[in-house]
Amino acid sequence: MAPFWKKLNSPQSFANHDFTSNFLELALLYDVLRNAKFTTVRKRMELPHDSLCKYDSDMVSAVTQSSIFLVHSDNVMEVKVALLKELMLVSSDHGTHNSLAGSASTSANTTELDTTEVVYLDTPKLEYAQTGKEPAQIRKVNDSSSVLCSPTGGLRHFASSNLTPEELDLILNEKAAEIDFNQLDGARKLAIGWVQRKQAKPLSKVTYSRNRFSYVNDDDAASVIGVNVNNSTETNIWATMDSNIKLEKTTKTELSSAKTFPHSILEIRWKGTSKPQWLSDIEKSHLVYPMREGFSLYAYSVVSFYSDQLQSVPSWLEIIEDNVEIRKVPSVAPVRRSMNSSANLAGANRTDKSVSISTPSILLNDSNAQIHDYDSAKEQEGLSRKSSMTVVEDRENRPQMLSRVSSFYNPASRQRHKLQSQPSESKLAVRYWNEFDDPEDGEDLGVFVINDEDPSGSYQDKLFSEANIDALVRISDKFLQSIGWFTSKITGSRDGYEALREGNYRRGSSSESDPDEEDEEEDDFDEEASVGRYSPRIKPRTSSDDSDDFAYRSFGDRNNSVAAQRRNSVLTFLYSMCLSLAAFIIMTLFSVTLLQDISEISLGTYVFMISGFIFALAISMLGLSLYLLCEAPPWWQQTIVFSSFFSIVCFGVGGIAWILT
């Protein structure tokens, strides 16, 4: 093992290479790809150090959701590359200039320049450490001015303000009360006022090197030409990668008890309730280790330096203190392997003659292929006869005939029918090969019919399907026959009853034609449908095919229009009954409300009247819902229905308000 460790720790080892310059160059390449699409609004985020500090402050002060992960040093660069696929790298202007040099020395300088310092402040009772909330903090990036972020609460959530060197010194020395509060204004008064009011004091200082990533909504940015993409209000996602983390305990101006965090920390914050899909993919990957809720650098610093003041030890502490292995084994992607052509050729030479006869052949003059092709044609002819007999036997079920014919032309239904009807044991068929064949087709029939949206299929398996409409029509017919018979019994005349039966007979005879004519039509239709059904590529067409196709489509259109009319008739009857009943209830209750003295009405009558108004409103809503299910209602019908509905709603709500007041 000694030679291995010697090679691993040598300066030329792969583990000691610095890929920062390559990482920044990759970020430039991603920016080039983005700028190719958004040349007028998307530009590289090259911000000065003050803007980087503002970026951190906006990330803290925005109302967001967050996820925190531990990243092993071996996976840091890979995680950065994964973030570049979705987010934009935010760097300082100096860092971008140095990254173009592409040398290890400049990349090291870039990392040294981008150093972030954070001083966390909390109340004497460690209120924010106990509750797990974001504490007050003073942030500084390299040589930028210090920014104080205070959790003021309310609609602002956080208040941020730049600090002068004098104010910074007073806050770090726990003398914030000496700052003249009357001379402050705006956000400075809110931020510094919170420190004075809470008597906050600095507890810990954290120093790290940070890589920043941001996502700006392309739709919002592209909508306005010349938009400033550096505006924090347009940022939807923040992501930071903190490395080389050092924690120190602050006692006024002195620093002591330095401690190094063993891993890098990836923190991603986003606006909204839905988590981005790529973030979920990162969580499931082997690159990161998700931390439990409540973990943060501030919480870890408090546990490390002020554990005696905490009520309980967090559960995530054992992951860090016990040196739990956070690296995971990457999942192995399935690899598809195929034999090369030489192996296939060798296997073919070793195959028995009996097997070679049953294998597909590409020879045009192969007698075995002709025999098997003939057998295959016989099997397909048998399937064709079987399907034709099935259609003829089912002709008595008239309401479902159209659905069966449409499923006959549906590719998915044909494939399912083929799988159900084919025998369990079938021999391989040898067929000719020509320029019209595609070896990828397999047993595909080769016929594709694209059907337009069929209104008759949109109501299947629903309340107002064609079968339910037929049942309602049959019930209404029986009801009318009963009325005619009862009328004839009373008046002694059978004219009305006979006329009613004659009308029903004519309507039934119009829907049921001669069985012989029906058989001829279906045989012609099946013969036409079977033409080209089992032909792989070519379907012969004549001049009469267009007219037949038009006749078939017009047949479907007529059936669809009849079904739609019957459905509209039933819906019209139902919503008319609902709206009429609601209007009658509203008028009755409203009349009682106007004519009766409200003070003399008992409590039970109160409840009954309010329930009646609510019931009327409910059935009016039901009637409107039924009306909206109708297809293409005329304008006068729309006017009547909506006027009735709004009148019922107005009078119903008015009646309830009258009773309650």
pLDDT of residue 246: 92
Choice between 546 and 562, residue whose per-residue pLDDT is larger? 562
The 10s digit of each residue's pLDDT in 572-604 is 888 888 889 998 988 888 788 777 666 677 778
pLDDT of residue 118: 92
Is the predicted pLDDT of residue 250 greater than 70, yes or no?
Answer: yes
User: Which of 481-485, 544-548, 553-557: highest mean pLDDT?
Assistant: 481-485
Q: Which residues on adjacent β-strands are paired with residue 159?
A: 150
Q: Which of 253-257, 363-367, 596-600, 657-661 is least confident?
A: 363-367
The share of the chain scoring above pLDDT 70, in percent, equals 50
- In this prediction, residues 334-339 reach a mean pLDDT of 54
- CA distance linking residue 324 with residue 329, whole number of Å: 14
Strands of 252-313, DSSP E: 254-260, 264-270, 289-290
- CA distance linking residue 305 with residue 257, whole number of Å: 8
pLDDT band, very low/low/confident/very high, at 107 (cuts 50, 70, 90): very low
pLDDT of residue 207: 92
pLDDT band, very low/low/confident/very high, at 630 (cuts 50, 70, 90): confident
- What single-letter amino acid sits at 243? S
Alpha helix positions (H), 531-602: 543-595
Candidates 3.30.360, 3.20.100, 3.30.980, 3.10.28; correct CATH number of 2-321? 3.20.100
Where exactly are the structural domains of the chain?
A: 2-321, 355-540, 561-660
- CA distance linking residue 326 with residue 508, whole number of Å: 77
Q: Annotate 434-449 with DSSP letters as a single string.
A: -TT--TT-TT------
Is the predicted pLDDT of residue 433 greater than 50, yes or no?
Answer: yes
Q: Which of 9-18, 591-600, 610-619 is least confident?
A: 9-18
pLDDT band, very low/low/confident/very high, at 69 (cuts 50, 70, 90): very high
H and E: helices and strands count for the chain:
24, 12
pLDDT of residue 154: 66
The 10s digit of each residue's pLDDT in 380-412 is 555 455 444 444 444 444 444 444 444 444 444
Write the CA distances from 382 to 395, 421, 527, integer angstroms: 20, 10, 14
- CA distance linking residue 578 with residue 571, whole number of Å: 11
- In this prediction, residues 26-47 reach a mean pLDDT of 56
Structure tokens at 406: 């449409």
Q: Which of 105-109, 232-236, 312-316, 381-385 is least confident?
A: 105-109
Given a contact cutoff of 8 angstroms between Cβ atoms, the answer to whether 159 and 187 are in contact is: yes
- In this prediction, residues 67-87 reach a mean pLDDT of 89
Is the predicted pLDDT of residue 16 greater than 80, yes or no?
Answer: no
- What single-letter amino acid sits at 192? I
Rounded to the nearest 10°, the torsion over CA 291, 293, 299, 304 is -60
Q: Which helix (H) or strand (E) holds 86?
A: none
Is the predicted pLDDT of residue 188 greater than 80, yes or no?
Answer: yes
Write the CA distances from 217 to 85, 271, 530, integer angstroms: 15, 12, 55
Choice between 198 and 429, residue whose per-residue pLDDT is larger? 198
Given a contact cutoff of 8 angstroms between Cβ atoms, the answer to whether 268 and 243 are in contact is: no
Length of the chain: 661
Is the predicted pLDDT of residue 290 greater than 60, yes or no?
Answer: yes
- In this prediction, residues 449-465 reach a mean pLDDT of 49
User: Which of 82-91, 115-124, 392-401, 521-530: highest mean pLDDT?
Assistant: 115-124
- In this prediction, residues 75-96 reach a mean pLDDT of 79
pLDDT of residue 374: 47
Is the predicted pLDDT of residue 429 greater than 60, yes or no?
Answer: no
pLDDT band, very low/low/confident/very high, at 251 (cuts 50, 70, 90): low
Using the structure block, give the residue that is written with the tokens 């320049």. Answer: 113
Structure tokens at 347: 């296997």
Choice between 265 and 22, residue whose per-residue pLDDT is larger? 265
pLDDT of residue 409: 44
Q: Which helix (H) or strand (E) holds 174?
A: none
The 10s digit of each residue's pLDDT in 632-656 is 788 888 888 888 888 888 888 888 8
Ramachandran sector of residue 57 (left: φ over 0; alpha: ψ -120 to 50; beta: rest): alpha
Q: Which of 2-16, 67-81, 512-526 is least confident?
A: 512-526
pLDDT band, very low/low/confident/very high, at 131 (cuts 50, 70, 90): confident
When the pLDDT of each residue in the chain is averaged and rounded to a whole number, the result is 68
- In this prediction, residues 617-634 reach a mean pLDDT of 84
